[in-house]
Structure 1
Amino acid sequence: MLWLELEGAVNIRDVGGIPTEDGGTTARNRLLRADNLQDLSRSDLDYLVDTIGLSTVVDLRTASEIESEGPAPLTKYAHVAHVHHSLLPEQSWGDNSPDALLTRRQEDEARYAGDRTCSHYLGYVEKRPDSIVGALRAILRSEGPALVHCAAGKDRTGVVTAFALSVAGARRDAIVADYAATAERIEAIVRRLTASETYAEDVLRVSLDRHTPKPESMAEFLEQVDVRYGGVTEVLAANGFTTEETSALRTKLRS
């Protein structure tokens, strides 16, 4: 994995170098994935903006999260585009009342009882396919490298990255391995989030094991996308992502 060792983010990496089905690899310095960017240091910013040439940030958090956390350091750079595509319904985030938790559990069980994490991810596809399409379109249109992030850089970021890598023709096992790599940093991720008033309560509700990404969850999610919707490209096509855009994104992430 092409980890970026920064001071203010612990789960940030380049998804270049991932093997594709036809024997190639994804291109480096085209797509980065990350956790929350609120704590980037001066040297982190210099590296991302000046050395890497970052030009687009795709924020998958809810508007409530963004408001609660406040402006991130990268927003000070006028030439770095910031686009917002929440993968969660705005009204659902942060509501941990007993009724809300019961409702979410019942929805998960009804959607897919075999794996709760997989069910959550299918919920993104079910409820916010427009945001998945919007995120991929922002990656495609970015003049330089694009960075996709949420809070932990694990679930929402994991799904959008899996879709992007699928379009690029990455091997399914390699997509799963990229997703699971976040487990290497999960303790540091949880420490960061519990230090934030925005995320502490939600993070502390469950065990570290529950936070840790399991490869079988992503494998099952992608399998269910195939079974239910005909695959990633069919989901995208059904939600307005054209054949031309799919081809162009594939080229961008591979060339």
Structure 2
Amino acid sequence: MYDGALNFREVGGLPTADGRRRLRRGLLYRSGTPQLMSEEAARRMVEETGIRLVVDLRQEKEAAEEGQGGLAAAPHTRISAPFLVAAAQQAGSSVPVMQAVDPLVPHYLGYLPSSEDSILRLFRALADPATGPALLHCTAGKDRTGAAVMLVLDAVGIDRGAIVGDYVAGKDEIAAVFDTLIALPSYGERLAALPAEARTTERETAERYLVQLDLRFGGIRGWLRDHGFTADELRALEDTLTEDS
């Protein structure tokens, strides 16, 4: 669609669990790193989608080293909201260390205690109706971005089957994305050290993640409430991101 935009897609039209509302179209997008985009491709993406906000979920050091590519020249507001985990990074790399068995669900759950400020910054930005269409991105567009999108969708009551469907939608692109990232200095061949399961987006991963959110935190709504996100802010988020079916 846009040359150099890894794993880019819109997240829109998904129904709420009660079927009465749906996620607004043209308001939420997700992708991997934009650093490989030319200025021409990035400007066309911004013009055609209306994206005004870019939420960068990468570590600050990682983002500084890798940059935004052509997107830096396109008109938008960028906010840094790094999703971090307690696990150490591989030496000299932004690639995390993941456990060999069941690497992804514990990894995703680790974002919540390690990235409180970033999660709240993300939610408050999306709750503002003046923000306009937003792009959430990390590097591969599957883990930090995948977890962040699941949190947002669950917070506004999107049907969990639809949430899981969005998580797996980019599955066929992941191998090519990882092949591309191996050539980048922040990731390189250290990606090969990740367990095979860490290079997939399976339904069962998203399903268990959502269940564990409920069990450990009372769901993302419970987590938000416990961290000072008010009922008025949650209503604003719902009003901004969803509409009547």
State the TM-score, normalized to the length of structure 2. 0.89
In 2 relative to 1, CA 224–52 (structure 1 residues): closer, same or farther, beyond 3 Å? Answer: same
1:1-255 alignment, distance < 5 Å: 5-23=1-19, 24-77=21-74, 79-88=75-84, 92-95=88-91, 101=97, 105=99, 115-141=102-128, 142-206=130-194, 209-255=197-243
What's the secondary structure of 1:37's corresponding residue?
Answer: coil
One-letter amino acid matched to 2:117: D
State the TM-score, normalized to the length of structure 1. 0.85
One-letter amino acid matched to 2:203: P
- 8 Å CA contact 1:56, 1:139 repeated in 2: no
| Mapped partners of 1:145, 1:208: distance in 2 | 34
Question: Residues 89-118 of structure 1: CA distance to partner in whole angstroms, max 9, x if unpaired?
Answer: 599434379xx95xx64xx9xxxx7x3211
Give percent identity, aligned residues only: 35
Deviation at 1:66, TM superposition (A): 1.0
- 8 Å CA contact 1:168, 1:250 repeated in 2: yes
CA-atom RMSD in angstroms? 2.3
Deviation at 1:140, TM superposition (A): 2.3
Provide the aligned length of Structure 1 versus Structure 2. Answer: 239
- 8 Å CA contact 2:53, 2:135 repeated in 1: yes
In 2 relative to 1, CA 216–89 (structure 1 residues): closer, same or farther, beyond 3 Å? Answer: closer
- 8 Å CA contact 1:54, 1:145 repeated in 2: yes
| Mapped partners of 2:193, 2:85: distance in 1 | 20
Deviation at 1:44, TM superposition (A): 2.3
What's the secondary structure of 2:43's corresponding residue?
Answer: helix
| Mapped partners of 1:46, 1:253: distance in 2 | 24
- 8 Å CA contact 1:11, 1:185 repeated in 2: yes
In 2 relative to 1, CA 250–84 (structure 1 residues): closer, same or farther, beyond 3 Å? Answer: same
More helix by share: 1
- 8 Å CA contact 1:187, 1:208 repeated in 2: no
Deviation at 1:238, TM superposition (A): 1.3
- 8 Å CA contact 2:83, 2:111 repeated in 1: yes
What's the secondary structure of 2:169's corresponding residue?
Answer: helix
Runs of at least 5 residues in structure 2 that lack an aligned partner in the other structure: none
One-letter amino acid matched to 2:105: C
In 2 relative to 1, CA 92–45 (structure 1 residues): closer, same or farther, beyond 3 Å? Answer: same
What's the secondary structure of 2:29's corresponding residue?
Answer: strand
